[in-house]
Structure 1
Amino acid sequence: MILVTGGLGFIGSHTVRALLDLGEDCVVVQRRARELPAVLAGARVEVEQADVADRDALLAIGDRHDITGIVHLAGPHPWLSVPSAPVEETRRVLDGLLNVVQAAQEWGVRRLGVASTIGVYFGATNDGPLHGDTPLLHEDTPLSISASASIPAFKKAGELLGGLLAGATGVDIVNYRISGTWGPLGHLDPFFAAPALVHAAARGTAPDLSHLMGPAFVEDGLDLSYVKDTGRAIALLQLADKLNHRTYNVGSGHATTNGQFIEAMKKVVPDAQIALPAGGDASHLVLDISRLKEDTGYQAEYDIERAVSDYLAWLRAGHQR
């Protein structure tokens, strides 16, 4: 049985869905009580309400379930949920990670996967192999010691701690550097426009991009992954018989620009009001996913057009996000 922290959230619920589809039983740990999301409707999923920062509550789950693996996707965003208490919020994040590692050690789990982010590459020197004109970011790419935002800073620290604890505890700890992910149950991301463009097409309105950190242009792009592919990639990493590395990029392996996204959208919704101004940053973050493919056999199932069609159908069925 695989324990998934944050397993009723955005990426978590799709990871649980993928694990179930691959024949695994799952127990989900969620800090706040909530119903199963629609992607898990009717599924046989055990739900435990607990805060991973509460060590005793987390360890007690192992008394009720035979846990063989852990996927750690939970973790409050530092300083965002309690901006007036950065020290306490930081302590909760670190306690959560340490408690999950302790649980993995005490339960003798086969593998502990921990979510990281494409954001750890911000500021890195990108001199890897090319995808078109864009160098690919490899897991061995040297990272900057600094971080401009709290989440990449904590993910970098978490990777360092994970490596140290893996050696000390003997737990197989694996990092997932997850790319820009979008799709059912997702939120309007401040770093890329794709989710907002689909929502606008579903409503038949012009997109509201006021949530973005800056204006969006046609040439802006990023390594984007549809959440169903992201969840399946994580599930395959968790279940692989053998992994040859401690860190894996989880993404599409290519950049998707706003222009390409709009072109795909127009094929599905020809009258969508989603034009963006020309220009933008042609330098994109793109992940090298060779390790992921080689060690798990992963191949994406959703190209842009299929993903857009799937998400539009979801929204038009009455789901809010």
Structure 2
Amino acid sequence: MILVTGGLGFIGRHTVRALLDLGESCVLVQRRTAEVPEDLAGERVVVEQADIIDPSALPSVGERHEITGVVHLAGSVPWPPGAHEPVDGARKAIASLLNVVEAARQWGVSRVGVASTVGVYAGVAEEGPLQEDVPLSMSSGHVIPAFKKIGELLTDHLAGVTGLDLVNYRIAAIWGPHGHAASPFFAAPALVRAAALGTEPDLAPLYAPAHAEDAIDMCYAKDCGRAIAALQLAEVLNHRTYNVSSGRATSNAEVLAAIRNVVPDTRVDLPAGGSGRRLWLDTTRLAQDTGFRPAYDTERAVADYVSWLRAA
């Protein structure tokens, strides 16, 4: 049974679905009481209430279930801003990761996967592809990549001293069902939602204005879940860190073209221009060690997302 922290979150839901499709059973750990969601009802899924900041919470879950692997997707980050007193927030973020690793060590699990982010690459290159062994900056302009870098250093250290197979997932820009209506990092979720529902796109949360030529490595949520499941279940992994992404840069212009093919009467658009930078993640390691290939190109992803939004 695979324990998934954050299993009812955005990426967690898709990871659990992919694990189930591969024949696994899952226990999902949630801080608040939660029921098994309708789309997973009747499956091999159990939801346990446990706060992973509490060092006794996860061992008690292990007393009720035979845990064979862990996928740690719950945020080991003091987020959102202002939600925690700074020092206490940092302490809790690091403690949650340490508690997961300690529980996994006690259980003798085969592998622990830990969510990191594409944001750790900020400032290291102007163009892609970005490979996992590129030297990273020791500073961060945002709390999420800052704590993900800390997490990667901790997992590397702990893997060496505990013998656990600890694996970092550097996850790209993810979009699709169960995701936020708008992202501060890229425009695609808001554009697709507006086209599906016939509304104006809410681009206010973006950190910078969006243009048609802006490009980012976007990975559809279902592909992201499949990639994480493949890494969790691979017989042998040859690296400590893997990029989880589509392996290509997708521009807003490509997204808009796909939207117009799927929703011909849409008026969703963006102004021309943009930086022209094309950053994407190299997925050679992921493909070589798991055989993973994305199943969703841009148009298929847009069509699936529009269908889900209209049915939700």
Please tell me the TM-score bracket, short chain as reference. Answer: over 0.9
Say if 1:79 and 1:86, in contact at 8 Å, map to a contact too: no
Say if 2:248 and 2:281, in contact at 8 Å, map to a contact too: yes
1:33-112 alignment, distance < 5 Å = 33-75=33-75, 77-80=77-80, 82-83=82-83, 85-112=85-112
2:148: which partner in 1?
155
Say if 2:36 and 2:46, in contact at 8 Å, map to a contact too: no
Distance 2:109 2:195 in 1: 44
SS of the residue aligned with 1:176? Answer: strand
CA drift of 1:35 comes to 3.3
CA drift of 1:76 comes to 5.6
How many equivalent pairs are there?
Answer: 311
- Residue 178 (structure 2) aligned to one of 169, 182, 185: 185
SS of the residue aligned with 1:248? Answer: strand
1:201: which partner in 2?
195
1:313: which partner in 2?
307
1:13: which partner in 2?
13
Q: 1:268 to 1:39 in 2, by over 3 A?
A: same
Say if 2:215 and 2:249, in contact at 8 Å, map to a contact too: yes
- Among all aligned residue pairs of Structure 1 and Structure 2, give the percentage whose two residues are the same amino acid: 61
Query: One-letter code of the match for 2:260?
Result: K
Q: Deviations over 1:47-84 (max 9, x none)?
A: 11101111101111111111010000002641416445
Q: Deviations over 1:156-214 (max 9, x none)?
A: 00000100000011100000000000000101210100000111011112212111112
SS of the residue aligned with 2:193? Answer: helix
Query: One-letter code of the match for 2:299?
Result: E
1:297-312 alignment, distance < 5 Å = 297-312=291-306
Distance 2:96 2:77 in 1: 12
Root-mean-square deviation over aligned CA pairs? 1.2
Distance 2:171 2:144 in 1: 12
SS of the residue aligned with 2:293? Answer: coil
Q: 1:35 to 1:285 in 2, by over 3 A?
A: farther
1:130-279 alignment, distance < 5 Å = 134-187=127-180, 188-279=182-273
- The gaps in structure 1 that reach 5 residues or longer are 127-133
- The gaps in structure 2 that reach 5 residues or longer are none
Query: One-letter code of the match for 1:304?
Result: T
CA drift of 1:41 comes to 3.6
Distance 2:8 2:273 in 1: 38
TM-score by length of 2: 0.97
Distance 2:31 2:148 in 1: 20
Distance 1:105 1:198 in 2: 43
Q: Deviations over 1:100-159 (max 9, x none)?
A: 010111100000000000000001136xxxxxxx43000001101100000000000000
Say if 1:198 and 1:311, in contact at 8 Å, map to a contact too: yes
Say if 2:76 and 2:147, in contact at 8 Å, map to a contact too: no
Distance 2:279 2:33 in 1: 36
Q: After alignment, is 28-37 or 100-109 more displaced?
A: 28-37
SS of the residue aligned with 1:135? Answer: coil
